[in-house]
Every structure is written in structure tokens, then in C-alpha cells.
């Protein structure tokens, strides 16, 4: 993915002049291969071809600032922090909340921490929740978010007024694309007013569609849980004459969950994702290909991302949710109708089993891998905020934790590349044609 022409430097509130309480832990780490010193940089490009194609010297290559603790910090133990979770649910939200609270209180001495309830709406006239190590002790064992969430924009000026009134020094925003845009708007108002409030984002999207990071938290849990639904649909399809298992998974604009779940279970015959339009009719269209697969094998399993095939539903009107996102039409309903009609027209019996596990997946706690990832993201978010960084998100890039300006991560969307190795693996695993035309 080519980085756009955006300054990769991360904003700061000013010079960091306070010795970090973690200083003793950092004294001998320069010799470690796995440690990136704060004075070093992390290369954006991970191949020689990409780097040399820029035709610049090594010192001019685009780089990210490394994440991690700093030797000097901006805020002391008397700072007051706030956390807000926004947008749809995702496995790991409570883990991030817990990680931030424990890191602030146990390692930086910041004990005054609050959580705004129900997303950005909580910054407009709602009573916050006091967050302590005791309050967050076991919340990582449950799904969802103890702070609640919501969609929809709020006036950034009014939200900054609330932060000032509450004496907040650091705001941690856990959310996706729209939430991070809101965080950037808050940071811009803070800068315009000359205030010293840090705004740090922890990027969250179950669809894994935030760009310029290796993955978003909760994604591995999501596609892992999705494989259980694929297994159920496969068993049902195999047990019925001419059985078709149709599994609709999350993925409004990006088909990563559908692709990874298909590869993890490796029982799917077809995977349909938003990035690749497809035709239903015709001898090389999807319906004919599906019928031939069923005739040859006795059953078939189809994985359908929720945003796939929206071009087939054009003309049905459009609505938006509270955040301004277009409401998707139900491609699952359309596919059920068209598959059944196609088999009837061909004079063939067909037994379709439809599975939609989306909300069951969103609401579960994370698996151990995502739990670790959430905790490490939380640690790095706290390190950044305490050091006075702002208008930024923490993420992992080629195995290294880095700081990224919010402007970068909201500049585009991460999608499955039709010419990339992931989609090639899907084609190899399913045996489906490159296109339904």
C-alpha cells in the first residue's frame, strides 16, 4: 500500500521534561534487536523494490516514529485521563480499557481516570464512570464494552468544553474510521484553543479495514469464530440432497473476514467480497457455477461478505446510519431468493441453509492472541499520551509498534487486493474462477 503525501510526523503538545517512572527499565535496551529506540525510525517500505522505486537516499525514505515508553514524559502523576469507546462492538474493547487503566495507574501513577459512557454522546451532558484497577479487574472476561458505545457525530467544540470542564489531560478514543475522524476534530479544536490535552486513538474495526497497520484488534477472534459457522453450514449442506450452505459474514467494504475464515476452515466453494463485483446470470455467472458445483459434488458452501454484491441491489433506495454511513441492502436475502429460483428453473431439488453469525461474533470476548494484542496496544497508547503526543493512533506495522497521524489512517480504507496474494490463496483454496462474467 503506497503511503499518500501526508506528513508522517506526529504532533506533540510541547517538550517532554519529566523523567519517566519507567526510566530504570529502559537503560540497557539499545542493544536489543527487538527494541526500537525512540530516536530511531521504522521504515514504511518492507521490500527492496518498493524502497528503491522512490529514488531517494536512505535517510529520505518515509518512516514512522516507533511506539513505546519515552525517557522523558509530558504529564506527571497528577494528570487526569478519560477513555471513550465508539462505533460497533468488537472483541477486545474491554481488554483495551483494562490495559489503559492498569498501565496509567500502576506504572505512571495516574489514578484519576474516567470513562465517558455511550461513545462521543457521553461527552455531551452524561455522567462518566470512574475507572479504577478494581473496576476493570475482570472485564476482559466479558464481551462488549463496560462504557457502552454509540454512533453519530457530536459537536467537537462542545466535547472540548466538556474535557476542559472535567480537567482532562489525556483522552483515549477506541474506535474505527468515523471515531478517529471525531478524535481528529477534537484534537484540532484543542490545538486551535492552545490547550494541552492529548488525544490518542486505538484503532478498532472488526473488518480490519484501517490502513497502514498490520491488523486491527478483534479481527483474528472474528474470523476464528466465523469458522464455526462455516463448519455448521458445511455439515448441514452435506447432509441434505443438493445442499447449499450460505454464510454471511461481516465486511461492509472489505472482505478480510470472509477471506481469512474461508482459508482457516478451507471448506468453502465460493467466497464473495465487496472488492470484486460478480454477475449472477449467464453460463459463467455465479448461479450457473454454483449449480454445476452442486451437481458435481452434491453440495456447496458459499461465504458472503455483507457488503458484497451491492451493485446488484442498486435502485432500492439509500439510507444512512447515525454516523453517516450508507446502510447496506441485505445481500443475503437476495442471494437466497436468486439461488432458489435458479435451481427451480433448472428443475433441480435444492436445500439451502443460511447462517448469519454477525452479532454473535461481535459480542464475544477476544481469543488469547487478540487479548495480548489489545494489551500491548493499550500500553503503547498510554506511553504516547504520557509523552505528550496527540492527534495520533498506535498500531503495529511489520511487527513494530508505531505512532501514526490520524490524518493518515483516515485517508483511505484497507481492502483486499484482487491482484494480491491473499485473494490468490482464496482462489486456490476454493477453486472458484477469478471472475463470474
Q: Which residues are catalytic?
A: 207
| Residue whose C-alpha cell is 475507572 | 131
- Region of residue 315 (left: phi > 0; alpha: psi -120 to 50; beta: else): left
Give 170's Cβ-side CA count (13 Å radius): 33
d(CA 119, CA 116): 7
CA distance 331 to 304: 8
First to last CA, the chain: 28
How far apart CA 162 and CA 149 sit, in angstroms, is: 18
Work out whether strand 112-116 and strand 80-85 pair parallel, antiparallel, or are unpaired.
parallel
- Residue 434 DSSP label: S
Backbone angles phi, psi at 245, to 5 degrees: -95, 125
CA 83 to chain centroid, in Å, comes to: 18
437 and 282 in contact (C-beta within 8 Å)?
Answer: yes
Q: 197 near 171, Cβ under 8 Å? A: yes
Question: Cα(423)–Cα(437) distance, rounded to whole angstroms?
Answer: 18
User: CA-CA distances (angstroms) from residue 63 to 7, 15, 66, 108, 391?
Assistant: 10, 22, 9, 28, 17
User: What is the bridge-based pairing of β-strands 351-355 and 299-305?
Assistant: unpaired
H or E element that contains 355: strand 351-355
CA dist., res. 6 & res. 333, Å (int):
42
The candidate with the shortest Cα–Cα distance to 103, out of 67, 146, 127, is 67
Grid coordinates representing 108 are 505512571
For residue 87, give the nearest of 246, 322, 328 by alpha carbon.
322
Cα–Cα distance list, 53 to 17, 61, 313 (Å): 40, 10, 41
Cβ proximity of 116 and 122 under 8 Å: yes
Which phi and psi angles does 153 have, rounded to 5°? -85, 155
Amino acid at each position: 500500500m503506497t503511503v499518500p503525501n501526508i506528513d508522517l510526523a506526529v504532533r506533540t503538545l510541547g517538550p517532554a521534561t519529566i523523567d519517566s517512572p519507567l526510566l530504570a527499565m529502559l537503560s540497557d535496551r539499545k542493544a536489543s534487536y527487538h527494541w526500537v529506540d525512540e530516536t530511531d525510525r521504522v521504515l514504511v517500505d518492507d521490500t527492496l523494490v518498493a524502497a528503491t522505486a522512490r529514488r531517494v537516499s536512505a535517510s529520505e525514505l518515509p518512516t514512522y516514529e516507533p511506539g513505546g515508553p519515552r525517557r522523558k514524559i509530558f504529564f506527571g502523576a497528577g494528570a487526569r485521563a478519560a477513555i471513550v469507546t465508539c462505533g460497533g462492538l468488537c472483541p477486545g474493547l474491554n481488554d483495551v480499557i483494562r490495559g489503559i487503566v492498569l498501565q496509567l495507574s500502576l506504572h505512571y501513577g495516574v489514578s484519576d481516570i474516567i470513562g465517558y459512557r455511550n461513545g462521543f454522546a457521553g461527552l455531551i451532558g452524561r455522567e462518566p464512570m470512574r475507572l479504577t484497577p478494581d473496576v476493570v479487574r475482570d472485564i476482559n472476561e466479558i464481551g462488549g464494552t463496560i462504557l457502552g458505545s454509540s454512533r453519530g457525530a457530536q459537536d467537537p467544540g462542545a466535547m472540548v468544553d466538556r474535557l476542559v470542564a472535567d480537567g482532562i489531560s489525556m483522552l483515549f478514543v477506541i474506535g474505527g474510521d468515523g471515531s478517529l475522524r471525531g478524535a481528529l476534530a477534537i484534537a484540532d479544536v484543542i490545538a486551535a484553543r492552545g490547550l494541552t490535552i492529548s488525544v490518542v486513538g486505538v484503532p478498532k474495526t472488526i473488518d480490519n479495514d484501517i490502513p497502514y497497520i498490520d491488523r486491527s484488534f478483534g479481527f483474528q477472534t472474528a474470523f476464528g469464530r466465523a469458522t464455526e459457522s462455516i463448519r455448521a453450514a458445511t455439515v448441514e449442506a452435506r447432509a441434505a440432497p443438493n445442499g447449499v450452505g450460505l454464510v454471511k459474514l461481516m465486511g461492509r467494504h472489505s472482505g478480510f473476514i470472509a477471506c481469512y475464515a474461508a482459508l482457516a476452515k478451507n471448506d468453502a466453494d465460493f467466497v464473495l467480497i465487496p472488492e470484486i463485483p460478480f454477475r449472477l446470470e449467464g453460463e459463467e455467472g455465479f448461479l450457473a457455477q454454483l449449480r454445476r458445483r452442486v451437481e458435481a459434488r452434491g453440495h456447496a458452501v458459499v461465504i458472503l461478505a455483507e457488503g458484497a454484491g451491492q451493485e446488484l441491489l442498486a435502485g432500492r433506495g439509500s439510507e444512512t446510519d447515525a454516523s453517516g454511513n450508507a446502510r447496506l441492502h441485505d445481500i443475503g436475502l437476495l442471494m437466497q431468493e436468486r439461488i432458489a429460483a435458479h435451481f427451480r428453473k433448472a428443475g433441480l431439488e435444492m436445500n439451502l441453509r443460511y447462517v448469519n453469525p454477525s452479532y454473535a461474533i461481535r459480542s464475544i470476548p477476544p481469543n488469547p492472541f487478540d487479548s495480548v494484542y489489545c494489551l500491548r496496544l493499550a500500553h503503547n497508547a498510554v506511553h504516547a499520551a504520557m509523552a505528550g503526543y496527540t492527534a495520533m493512533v498506535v498500531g503495529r506495522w511489520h511487527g513494530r509498534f508505531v505512532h501514526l497521524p490520524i490524518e493518515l489512517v483516515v485517508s483511505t480504507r484497507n481492502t483486499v487486493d484482487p491482484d494480491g496474494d491473499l485473494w490468490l490463496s482464496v482462489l486456490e483454496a476454493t477453486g472458484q474462477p477469478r471472475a463470474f462474467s
